[in-house]
Amino acid sequence: MKVLRLLPLTAALAACALSGTARAEGLLELYEAARAYDANWQSAKSQYDANIARAAQSRAGILPQAGLSAGLTRNDYELRTEPAGAVAATRVERNFTTQQATLSASQPLYRPANLATYRQGKRQAELAEFQLTSAGQDLMIRVSQAYFDVLAAQDTLAFVRAQKAATAEQLASAKRNFEVGTSTITDTREAQARYDLVLAQEIAAENDLRVKKLALDTLVGRANAQPNPLSVPDVPLPQPPDPESWVAASENASPAILQARTAVEIAELETEKAKAGHKPTLDLTASYGLTRNLGGSTSLGVDNRTNLAAVGVAFNLPLFAGFATQNRIRETLALEDKARSDLEATRRTVAQAVRTAYFGVVSGQGQVRALQAAEASSQSALDANRLGYQVGVRINIDVLNAQSQLFQTKRDLAQARYNVLLGHLRLRQANGTLQPEDLARLNTLLAP
């Protein structure tokens, strides 16, 4: 019993030794740090900005277009006349400079293809929003996974060190009993073998914790980040306690479903653009031109200037394009069907993922309760074996096995609790409702 009373102290000392001077940080705080540092998130954010800018380009087809052109030309003009008879030939020479400038503008009045492109741009902006939301949820899960990996590795190391202390005490007891002749050398050899095994497990646990901490530091961009430990042992069941309710919520919340649905709308607009290949177009046009001749012109010998303003409409009706329009329509209709099939496949995949995540949380809750009972049973078994060893009805290996079972159960219980916490987040990610507020609520289960 003395060894087990040392367990909380051993775990605390191990955590303090590993954290050094690091300040304990909550899950939400580390997530905010990751948003400012993680390269994958920064890449997703830049892609979102690019997608928004690309979507805004679609407005150009329905807005006015204007242009200015100008030119400068140097002309050398010569006119020679040679009439019949005795009349002498005449020659006219002029050198003049022509300056030209034209300002033109047009406004689409009826261009159904351009209007469909504009509506596609709006859908593509929505698509970019859903993609960024998905990237944000993925970042939350990655930070949470790394966070709980560190906590689990810390617990494993603490339990291994506590088991080492208990095994060392059992080894010392076996040596004393052998020296006084109440036990055989076999007890000492068994205790020594178990102690050496625990030393190897401690080395592996230390390295695993080091690797897990490096992964968390790399993700959040902080050196020696120290997560807050879990303070509330029990986690409530998912609310509502019905997997179909979570599936129903995913229909309007899952970024994957929303992206697939938007892809269907974009495909429908692409068909509308293809059908516009048979329709006429009508544009309002206006222009103002200035031509100035310095030194005369071909017809005048003095400087002159011409101004020309024009306003009109331009009508265009396609008659035949070599069946390109008809084949384009067939192509876009097939792509529409594909987008609808992809949407249905995404719905089924999301529903399956939501149900799997929900039952994973429920199963994890049951596993936690079972491991809590197993922990109490293992503690009772260890107490009984230690007492039996003292009175001579149990051998040393029985006590060592009971110790190993107890500490293995404690490790499994700690890991199961972390899995349940992470399972809650994965459930919300599966149905698309994961938000930073969920991390804030999870912070209330962590010790400050």
Q: What is the pLDDT of residues 93-109, one digit of tens each?
A: 778 888 999 999 999 99
Q: What angle do the packed helices 436-443 and 27-37 form, to 10 degrees?
A: 140
Residue 285: pLDDT band (50, 70, 90) is: very high
pLDDT above 70 as % of the chain: 92
d(CA 448, CA 230): 9
Q: What is the mean pLDDT of residues 256-275?
A: 96
Domains and CATH numbers, the chain: 2-77+94-443 (1.20.1600.10)
Element (H, E) at 162: helix 112-179
d(CA 31, CA 21): 21
Q: What is the mean pLDDT of residues 172-197?
A: 86
Amino acid 8: pLDDT: 38
Amino acid 92: pLDDT: 73
What pLDDT digit, counting tens, does each position of 224-242 carry? 889 988 887 677 788 889 9
Angstrom CA distances, 68 to 74, 85, 305, 310, stand at 21, 52, 19, 15
Amino acid 444: pLDDT: 84
The SS3 assignment for 25 reads strand
Residue 88: pLDDT band (50, 70, 90) is: low
Q: What is the mean pLDDT of residues 73-93?
A: 74
Report the predicted TM-score, pTM, of the whole model to 2 decimal places: 0.83
Amino acid 10: pLDDT: 38
Task: Print the SS3 string covering 328-356.
Answer: HHHHHHHHHHHHHHHHHHHHHHHHHHHHH
Amino acid 5: pLDDT: 34
Check whether 189 has a pLDDT greater than 50. yes
